[in-house]
Structure 1
Amino acid sequence: MKTRYLLVVLIFLLCFNQVLAQSVPGTDTVSGIVADSASQNPLDLITVQLLNKANTPVNVVYTAADGSFSIGYPEAGNYTLVLSGVGYKNRKIPVNATDDAQRTIRLGTILLSPETVALKEVLVTAAKPIVTQEIDRITYDLQADPESKVYSVLEMMRKVPLLSLDADNTLYMKGNTDFRILVDGKPSSMVERNYKEILRSMPASSIERIEVITSPPAKYDAEGLAGIINIVTRKKLDNGYRGSVNVSERFPVGGPGVGGTVSFKQGKLGMTALFGASIYNTPEVSSWANRTTLSAQPTYLTQTNTTLNKNRSGYLGYEVSYELDSLNLISGQVNLNGSKSSGGAHQNSILRSTSEILQRYDLADDRGGTGDGIDASLNYQRGFKRNKNQLLTFSYRFLKFGNEQNDALQLTNTLNYDLPDYQQTNLQNFSEQTAQIDFVYPVRKLTVEAGVKAILRDNESDFQYRSYNPDKGVFEPRPDFSNQYDNTQNVYGAYNSYQYTFKKWGIKAGARIEQTVMRADFISTQSEAKQHYFNVIPSVSINRKFRKDVGMNLGFSQRIQRPGIYQLNPFVDRSNPLFERTGNPGLRPALVNDFQLGYNKSAKGSVSLGIGATLFQDLIFQVSVLDPASDITRVTYENTGRARLLTGNMNINYPFTKRWNASVNARAAHGKVEGVVNGTRQTNQGLMYSVNVSTGYRFEKEWRITANLNANGPNVNLQGTSNTMVGTSISINKDLVKEKLSIAAAFNNPFTKFRKDHRESFGPNFLQTNDRRDYFRSFHLSLNYKFGKLKEEIKRNKRGIRNDDVQTGG
């Protein structure tokens, strides 16, 4: 019944916006066609501004692919039309709009002259801004950072405002691991399955910029508690071709890698490919775990572990677009990715009482895994003659990815431990189909957007446990430890948003409605569970410009966290017999209210400051419960608590001279979490922080050296905390052939070979510490080559499918 009501609301919203589009007068316009004065070819993406008598902009648009534009004016009067574009001289045209009888003013063809500057032995250098602030997002320009030539996308995220990495290269946005990653504004199987594998194999030189969407507008799905990270690849292209290739080597942790992009455009046809592959090896790492039970007769568990891992991964993305005519565009995209891992682990486990050894065993784990993913999408975009910025888009997308995990475990040197050797296999598959319609209608200074969307998901898991039978000499299935699980999740949504710009103010506001229908089917046990929930999700962002280079942003968004397959899957991982890990099919969505206030200034340098408050309800926590009867700690997920987070962030980029610059990216937060664990209320709180300080100097003959300092404070969760991490690095790069071929090298943590990762956790009846010794010192080498010849930019769909409503795994 709720689904039927939702469909009625969706139809109403589309009808409402179409009526609005038809009812608002659209005849008070100035129109024309902009062309090159020499070749007479039409010019697209030329900025067209309309100024009033006070020289204040009242409207701004961009020319379409055929050079045409149509810009509205609010009332009768005299205006000035200003046309500007890269490589062309600005042109001003007076516009007399005082005649009420002639409300449509057609200027015909307007010619722009190329801007030519004669220079004689003069070197002109300009600093490209690295960080920019928009009404609802912060953008980091990777192409303006020389270190993009040596590091991966994942490593460069340490410098991006509101992002940080911990010792395990786990990515945090505003201190939270629940966010969405998009590629060119759309979801991709490359980062859906395991973002670490792909982002650390993706050279940053192949990426144009990273957008941190702090207050996602209503057009984005409501999931992702912290927000959205959008990775924008380099796709601006003229007629011709362009590309880049990066070859790298990393050791002792890591390995060789290659990646890059290739783009081609000829007439109305445009194509882009994104590719990469890498080997990532982790030498033997040692770790220790110590657990003490809190009881009248305490026990003491000590585990010593060594692990060795090898991973191979690769990805390929391909996009093609074709302009049927100036108003119709069709595009398609295919992404492929895959990985294979292998390794081994050895563990010595001893359980003691105060007077004797209660239990002992040695465990050898021969492990391996594979993963693959594919997604394909098709988009059709329809423009309108009356207003080139009015768009109607139809999109369809199919996504599928899978992971297989295999463990073969052998027990030796046992004492009071009779568990036989065993094998466990977990096969996960995720598929998704999405259909979406988006409508954009600009009315003078107001832009109206509306859309409807349906997402149909299917999660499957088949996990098997086999125990060794010494009498038969074979591994036999254990049905009580095995299960087949199927979960379907259908999301039906609609949004309506409005963006209004006047004088020095900009406002985005809107709301989404989402109906979610979930079903969990435990095939092996022939049981079923269902969930239905309905959400109304508001969002608003306000921007105020004080001067040309100073502004403030205020944002509020409400987000939800739907549990993903990694949290729902009831597969029990028994690779460590005394620490079992599993998902929870009964999880409910969590809700968050997020408030952000930011200040930014861009002059000689750039400064971004921000404060925020985030309130969580029904938060999905990972909880650990010790069973005193078996001495097994079971780890799972629960909707067990709530949390609040008060944050402050700062990002400063400043060029002291034309050759020397420095930047600081810092964040501090105080978090407090509380929840119920095993019937007992737990509370934890503390200060968290992350700091990246970077400075670089450019020498003669295109040499550049950069030094970095990274510091991460403790991470606070419901049942524990972690230690701080301080790291240093120095990189050198040189252009061998200017703007074509460059070489780069980096030396990370030259003074520290190993790092100790220390974590403390607690529960109602135990205390535990985990320590791990990781390789910290490493070397990076890379060679970057750019090639191509281009003239006219590729045209792409301005709207497409963005599924940002399920937690990113990894």
Structure 2
Amino acid sequence: MHLKKLGIFIFCIAAFFQTFAQQKGSKNASVKFTGKVIDFDTKEPLEYATVVLKPLNGTQITGGITDSKGLFNIDLKAGNYDVSIEYISFKTYQLKNVAIVKSKDLGVIELALDAQALDEVEIIAEKSTVEIRLDKKIYNVGKDMTVKGGSASDVLDNVPSVTVDVEGNISLRGNDNVQILINGKPSGMIGLSGADALQQLPADAIQKVEVITSPSARYDAEGTSGILNIVLRKGKAQGFNGSVTATTGIPDNYGGSANLNYRTKKFNFFTNTGYSYTEYPGDSYNYATYFDSDNEVIGYRNEEADYDRSRNRFNTNMGVEYYITDQSSITGTFFYRDSKGANYSVNTTNEFDPSEVLTQTSIRTNDEDEKGKNIEYSLNFTHNFKTDGHKLTVDVQHSSDTDNEAAAVSDFTTYPSLIDNNPEKNATNDASTDFLVQSDYVLPLGKNAQFEAGFKMVLNDLTSDYIVEDFNPDSGEFENNTDFSNTLEFSQDIYSYYTQYGTKFNNVSVLLGLRAETTDRTIFLVQTEEYNQKKWTELFPTVNVGIEFNDMESLTIGFNRRLRRPRSRFLNPFESRTSETFIRKGNINLDPTYTSAFDVGYLKRWNKFTLNSSVYYQHSTNNIEYVQTEETREINGEPTLIIVTMPINLSSQDRYGFEFTANYNPFKWWKLNTSFNFYRAITEGDYDDVNYDADNRSWFTRINSTVRLPGNIDWQTRAMYRGPSESAQTKREGMLNIDLAFSKDILNENATISFNVSDLLNSRLRKSNTTTETTYTDSSFRFRPRSFRLNFTYRFNQKKKRERQRQQGFDGGEEEMFKA
């Protein structure tokens, strides 16, 4: 899709809906009722507060919901109304017989906590699973029974627009370059290897996940597909309250967690702490066919591997929020992760001649122990000035992360004769430190405009010491193999500055921003004394336009420029050692990928149905792709052809697609949400005189259904299908995954027991085939099989507060969207 055509397309959509909105408005003139709702104690805005207006003459009740700034803006017919503003656990604000004959601003409404209602605090578990907003999609974790006892990876695998492959790698709209934030900031909680760290962060510690596909200049430019912001739990209710959860499962999976909160007028203490032990049995195969220059078969090699993995992990996140004054607060948090793992794999290789006659069988075992620790300290200062929306925040964060892996490798031939080949040892010791300083300033300019500015500094240092030792039968000792051992020293400092201006006129909102980022990256390979330093400064403009036709219908148009910096593991040239013939390694010469992205979104709400759809286009240069090459090496005294997989910068990629997310509540006892994404990626590039042009069309869809069964048992079904995909060398088959869960409240609704089945059909595995000039490889990988979990949660000083009955004639729209 050419940019010119895309611009015409966006203009036509905007013009059509603008005309449509004006025509509708001319038939039904209305007045506006506005105001702001805040917490009496903290002066913080109250999001999702319900505003209900009951006309004194008539039955058509109307209203709305406050936004993230506590603001409401409701269109209604002129007349006299009874007004009530409600927020769970707060005293209701009421006004009787209010004359609203022209547009009226109610000003700032302060809601105070209701002491009698504190025993009926609405807990996360009663919120709807998916909230659809104009600028983002929000997935609330508590209501989803299928992730109880699981990890952050399980949570993300249920988020609209997001997919998680069998190895735990995250993709957004089919693009694996997504920026993951914790509480709005880059965090050491993600660890040195993001996929592994997310599999260690318990699902019970997560409150919600925000999907942001068109970020403003306030956010880092990292992540060409967008941002996933993981928000951890932090209680807000007065007094002492919390919940504890215990889990057991098959394969072995057991543990417990606690979410506790104690709040007074001046302090808020919170923590979520958990321990778990999990086993991950898995399997894989690689069946390779080798050809000569005349495309004749010269041999076959079949490798099959079985994996036995286990992991102990302990996580705690604790903090205290101190309200210095009515306008200022300071929050300190501490995060600690300690994990230990054992990975044992058996790789069996059978080699055949062109006639498929077995010529050799060998077995390679890898016995690996892992240890990891992560410590993070963060401090946040927030000051709200006297003018509404005038705000200053300062964040300081420091984290340290260590991951140590040590493996003993045995290799022996079993056919045609038994030969015990020399064993091997390898170890990887990684140590990383991160330091972050960030400040953001927001200044309102009149009633409908504001200015923002800020800066961020992120300093990262990493040392990765990789040692490979071969057994010397002459000395009877292990000796360093200098061909593979090396030490990587990596540092990356990022300095960012941004400014943006937002304004609103009539029903159109505009947000213009510009971000500048300077990156200073240094790589040093100690043993080979290879040194690589790059420094660059880039500008990243953002434009976001919103057109609000009415309370039920909106359109957004967004443009942003973003980049993908290669992570240290992409750059690290150390080779994997699980297999001697199928090798993975990094590329020290990788450059960033730059992407310009356009996004057009349309949001429409009906009585029981909410639809959020979008079309998007991305153009990337220096695109990073994995390619396979062949080398001949000597293994056990024999020259052997091996396959090496590594990332490279391909020339360019054009990606465009369409997606929608929908919520539908057909009955009180049945709730549905679904999402669908189709995308096409066209890649053009050459490497080592090989053409890697590819045209990949793929799609994925997900559906969640929750049904209330007799006996007040909730039954949840989650189904996800990812369509086939294709890159320059590899084709992947489609994959289906189905999860089931059942839950019931017990002990006077103070506790919940749930049972879930993950991967019901045992079909969650990656199947692919790869073609090069001299090989054809058929592959499969399963990270873990079907699993079962039983969970028990007990709440104290918390009671479920069932959803309010939807009042007949209420036409606010957002009430249906935000409440379960």
Letter in 1 for 2:411: L
**1:745 Cα offset (Å):** 0.8
- Post-superposition Cα deviations, 1:128-184, rounded to whole Å, max 9, x if no partner, equal 654334343111233455556566543343442211233444332111222122222
- Post-superposition Cα deviations, 1:371-397, rounded to whole Å, max 9, x if no partner, equal 221111122233323x14212222221
Letter in 2 for 1:453: K
CA distance in 2: counterparts of 1:62 and 1:741, whole angstroms: 31
Instruction: Determine if contact 2:507/2:549 at 8 Å carries over to the other structure.
Output: yes
CA distance in 1: counterparts of 2:132 and 2:773, whole angstroms: 46
5+ residue gaps, structure 2, are 1-33, 54-61, 74-80, 118-124, 634-639, 800-820
Look up the match of 1:510: 513
Instruction: Determine if contact 1:518/1:532 at 8 Å carries over to the other structure.
Output: yes
What does 1:408-557 align with in structure 2 at a 5 Å threshold? 408-413=408-413, 420-443=422-445, 444-557=447-560
- Post-superposition Cα deviations, 1:691-745, rounded to whole Å, max 9, x if no partner, equal 2223222134421122232212224333212211223333211010355200111
CA distance in 1: counterparts of 2:470 and 2:747, whole angstroms: 61
Look up the match of 2:591: 588
Residue from 716, 720, 744 that aligns with 2:726:
716
Secondary structure, aligned partner of 1:501: strand
CA distance in 2: counterparts of 1:130 and 1:674, whole angstroms: 40
Q: 1:678 to 1:44 in 2, by over 3 A?
A: closer
Look up the match of 2:611: 607
Letter in 2 for 1:220: Y
Q: Name which of structure 1's ranges 183-192 and 586-595 shifts more when overlaid on structure 2.
A: 183-192
Q: 1:83 to 1:524 in 2, by over 3 A?
A: farther
CA distance in 2: counterparts of 1:60 and 1:490, whole angstroms: 39
**1:222 Cα offset (Å):** 0.7
Secondary structure, aligned partner of 1:190: helix
Q: 1:411 to 1:34 in 2, by over 3 A?
A: closer
Q: 1:739 to 1:175 in 2, by over 3 A?
A: farther
1:391 is aligned to 2:400 = no
Q: 1:570 to 1:151 in 2, by over 3 A?
A: closer
Look up the match of 1:730: 740
What does 1:594-743 align with in structure 2 at a 5 Å threshold? 594-602=597-605, 603-628=607-632, 630-743=640-753
Look up the match of 2:214: 215
1:239 is aligned to 2:241 = no
Look up the match of 2:122: none
**1:33 Cα offset (Å):** 11
- Post-superposition Cα deviations, 1:518-561, rounded to whole Å, max 9, x if no partner, equal 12222222332211111101112222222212222222221101
Secondary structure, aligned partner of 2:558: strand
**1:255 Cα offset (Å):** 0.8
**1:670 Cα offset (Å):** 2.0
Q: 1:260 to 1:154 in 2, by over 3 A?
A: farther
Q: Name which of structure 1's ranges 414-423 and 540-549 shifts more when overlaid on structure 2.
A: 414-423
**1:432 Cα offset (Å):** 1.3
Count of aligned pairs between the two proteins: 726
Q: 1:97 to 1:674 in 2, by over 3 A?
A: closer
Secondary structure, aligned partner of 2:612: strand
CA distance in 2: counterparts of 1:33 and 1:615, whole angstroms: 42
Instruction: Determine if contact 1:509/1:540 at 8 Å carries over to the other structure.
Output: yes
What does 1:170-319 align with in structure 2 at a 5 Å threshold? 170-197=169-196, 199-200=198-199, 204=203, 206-252=205-251, 255-283=253-281, 285-296=283-294, 298-319=298-319
Q: Name which of structure 1's ranges 650-659 and 700-709 shifts more when overlaid on structure 2.
A: 700-709
Secondary structure, aligned partner of 2:280: strand
Instruction: Determine if contact 1:520/1:528 at 8 Å carries over to the other structure.
Output: yes
What does 1:742-761 align with in structure 2 at a 5 Å threshold? 742-750=752-760, 752-753=761-762, 757-761=766-770
Instruction: Determine if contact 1:244/1:262 at 8 Å carries over to the other structure.
Output: yes
Secondary structure, aligned partner of 1:481: coil
Letter in 2 for 1:432: D
CA distance in 2: counterparts of 1:32 and 1:476, whole angstroms: 71
Q: 1:336 to 1:286 in 2, by over 3 A?
A: same
Look up the match of 1:768: 777
**1:269 Cα offset (Å):** 1.2
CA distance in 2: counterparts of 1:176 and 1:43, whole angstroms: 40
Q: 1:418 to 1:615 in 2, by over 3 A?
A: farther
CA distance in 2: counterparts of 1:473 and 1:439, whole angstroms: 65
Q: Name which of structure 1's ranges 375-384 and 315-324 shifts more when overlaid on structure 2.
A: 375-384
Look up the match of 2:369: 368
- Post-superposition Cα deviations, 1:719-778, rounded to whole Å, max 9, x if no partner, equal 21221122333321101035520011123455x456664211123432211124666432
Q: 1:382 to 1:94 in 2, by over 3 A?
A: farther
- Post-superposition Cα deviations, 1:221-269, rounded to whole Å, max 9, x if no partner, equal 11112111112233241321222222222212x5113234212212211
Look up the match of 1:321: 321
Secondary structure, aligned partner of 1:226: coil
CA distance in 1: counterparts of 2:481 and 2:194, whole angstroms: 33
Look up the match of 1:796: none
Look up the match of 1:347: 347
**1:218 Cα offset (Å):** 0.6
Instruction: Determine if contact 1:496/1:512 at 8 Å carries over to the other structure.
Output: yes
Q: 1:547 to 1:522 in 2, by over 3 A?
A: same
**1:109 Cα offset (Å):** 10
CA distance in 1: counterparts of 2:665 and 2:101, whole angstroms: 45
Secondary structure, aligned partner of 2:253: coil
Q: 1:678 to 1:314 in 2, by over 3 A?
A: farther
CA distance in 2: counterparts of 1:660 and 1:106, whole angstroms: 37
- Post-superposition Cα deviations, 1:105-128, rounded to whole Å, max 9, x if no partner, equal 9999989998999xxxxxxxx996
Q: Name which of structure 1's ranges 183-192 and 420-429 shifts more when overlaid on structure 2.
A: 183-192
CA distance in 2: counterparts of 1:205 and 1:682, whole angstroms: 43
Instruction: Determine if contact 1:312/1:341 at 8 Å carries over to the other structure.
Output: yes
Instruction: Determine if contact 2:42/2:327 at 8 Å carries over to the other structure.
Output: no
Instruction: Determine if contact 1:306/1:347 at 8 Å carries over to the other structure.
Output: yes
**1:589 Cα offset (Å):** 0.7
Letter in 2 for 1:652: A
**1:327 Cα offset (Å):** 2.8
Look up the match of 1:122: none
CA distance in 2: counterparts of 1:292 and 1:268, whole angstroms: 71
CA distance in 2: counterparts of 1:199 and 1:346, whole angstroms: 26
**1:313 Cα offset (Å):** 2.0
Q: 1:474 to 1:128 in 2, by over 3 A?
A: closer
Q: Name which of structure 1's ranges 284-293 and 392-401 shifts more when overlaid on structure 2.
A: 284-293
Q: 1:786 to 1:641 in 2, by over 3 A?
A: farther
Secondary structure, aligned partner of 1:154: helix
Q: 1:200 to 1:521 in 2, by over 3 A?
A: closer
- The TM-score normalised by the length of structure 1 is 0.81
Secondary structure, aligned partner of 1:223: coil
5+ residue gaps, structure 1, are 1-29, 73-79, 99-104, 118-125, 791-810
CA distance in 2: counterparts of 1:33 and 1:719, whole angstroms: 56
Letter in 1 for 2:547: R
CA distance in 2: counterparts of 1:226 and 1:112, whole angstroms: 41
CA distance in 1: counterparts of 2:328 and 2:232, whole angstroms: 24
- The TM-score normalised by the length of structure 2 is 0.80
Percentage of matched positions with identical amino acids: 23
Instruction: Determine if contact 1:48/1:81 at 8 Å carries over to the other structure.
Output: no
Instruction: Determine if contact 1:89/1:115 at 8 Å carries over to the other structure.
Output: no
CA distance in 1: counterparts of 2:368 and 2:465, whole angstroms: 18
CA distance in 1: counterparts of 2:665 and 2:571, whole angstroms: 49
Look up the match of 2:405: 405
What does 1:98-113 align with in structure 2 at a 5 Å threshold? none
Q: 1:377 to 1:295 in 2, by over 3 A?
A: same
Q: Name which of structure 1's ranges 273-282 and 159-168 shifts more when overlaid on structure 2.
A: 159-168
CA distance in 1: counterparts of 2:239 and 2:164, whole angstroms: 38
